[in-house]
Structure 1
Amino acid sequence: MTRLPLVLALVALSAHSAAANDLDGTWLRDDGNARVRIAPCGDKICATNLWIGDSSKGEAAGDKLVMTLARQPDGTFSGSAYDAKRDWTYSMTITAKPGALTTRGCIAAKLICRDVNWKAVE
């Protein structure tokens, strides 16, 4: 589970536009150890590491998570996230509030999950 920082960061074409509006931006992880940029990439959404303070867990600047997310009735975004560096696919849920995100990334049929809080970088 030490390789989930980017995933926990850090989301169908119509859902892409809605997600991009709410999630697009630069985000700082709550422990201050990662900065990511969330932006459209083709018909998906990408979270790209801009800066990693502790690279001992295998994370590096430039690593990218490609997400396919759809807005849910409760306002969250959920779907999948693919980490090409590790060839892993995660279940992903993102809750967006003004200036803040909470990401929940899960593997192993949602048996192993981790939540991470993010704040918008101004």
Structure 2
Amino acid sequence: MTSTRTVLIIVAMTAAPAAGAAELNGTWLRDDGNARVRIAPCGDNVCATNLWIGDTSKGEAVGDRLIMTLARQADGSFSGTAYDPKRDWSYSMTIKATARVLSTHGCVLGGLLCRNVNWKAAE
């Protein structure tokens, strides 16, 4: 499992992405400095696309993406699923957005393997 995928274990969503998902849109830097992604609408979903990867040893590449299907929750977070077409993996995902910061929590294998990743808005 890669760290960008984990973030967005990174980033794929199911509700009208334009409704509230604008807070997620933009270019984001992973807290370890090893990835830069762009989150933007893609069809009826939201996609996180790798713009730059520092350490490609785990199979991450520029252009890889997660397709997210997310719904806004009562607490303002987004939750749903993310799909990684390169690996044919699906993740459960929760994203919390605050001013210029994203916190992602993603899980695979029915919640047996989870990871948290923080992102900051790119300058």
Secondary structure at the counterpart of residue 95 of structure 1: strand
State the aligned residue count. Answer: 120
Partner of 2:119: 118
Structure 2 stretches lacking a partner, 5+ long: none
Q: Distance in 2 between matches of 1:13 and 1:111?
A: 25
* Percent identical residues: 63
Question: What is the TM-score normalised by the length of structure 2?
Answer: 0.92
Partner of 1:28: 29
Question: What is the TM-score normalised by the length of structure 1?
Answer: 0.92
Partner of 2:105: 104
Q: Distance in 1 between matches of 2:31 and 2:2?
A: 17
Specify the code of the residue in structure 2 equivalent to 1:95. K
Cα gap change, 1:12/1:79 in structure 2, threshold over 3 Å: closer, same or farther? closer
Structure 1 stretches lacking a partner, 5+ long: none
Kept in 1: contact 2:6–2:116 (CA 8 A): no
- Large movers: runs of 4+ above 4 Å: none
Q: Distance in 2 between matches of 1:13 and 1:108?
A: 23
Choose between structure 1 and 2: higher helix proportion: 1
Specify the code of the residue in structure 2 equivalent to 1:80. T
What is the 5 A alignment of 1:49-68?
49-68=50-69
Partner of 1:80: 81
